[in-house]
Amino acid sequence: MMKILLVIALVVCTGCQANLFYADEPKPPLEQLTDAFRSYFEQARTRTSQMEQEINQYTTNLREKMDPLAKDLMTKITEGADVLKERIEMEVSAARCALKPYIEYVTSPFEKGADYIRESLDLKDLKATVLQKGEELRERLEQGVKELQAKLDPST
């Protein structure tokens, strides 16, 4: 394309006045150059339009072919995920059943110990002891506060 443009420019610049029919008056070089550029750009525009149509057609064909494949792939992935989920749930359930005796064996001593502690503690006695000690502590604090006030205020 560049070679053709160069030849056209060379012809225009050299002032070639060749006319096949000798009917028209020769055009000035600037007008010839303008016509050559217009012709070149019109051809380029036409070719670009053709390429755009081809690309659009190719894109449409590709989309028509890919849409069913994508839907099929999504269906297969979803089905596979569901099968995998069911299998994992079965495996977890089986593992839970297999481990249940061991879990009970390990936790039963702790449960028995907790039950023994609950039974051995007499909550009423514990509550009475806590209340008695709390009362004793309050009386000591009151006595200490009175002594401190007496030391700080000698006029009383």
- Residue 50 in tokens: 């053709």
Q: Residue 72 burial by CB count (10 A; 0-12/13-18/19+): exposed, middle or buried?
A: exposed
On whether the pTM is more than 0.75, the answer is no
pLDDT tens column, 111-135? 888 877 777 777 777 888 899 999 9
Taking only the tens place, the pLDDT of each residue in 8-57 is 766 666 655 555 454 567 788 888 888 888 999 899 899 999 999 999 99
Which of helix, strand or coil describes residue 26? coil
Reading the block at residue 24, the tokens are 């028209």
Per-residue pLDDT at 2: 65
Helix, strand, or coil (residue 128):
helix
Q: Is the pLDDT of residue 99 over 80?
A: yes
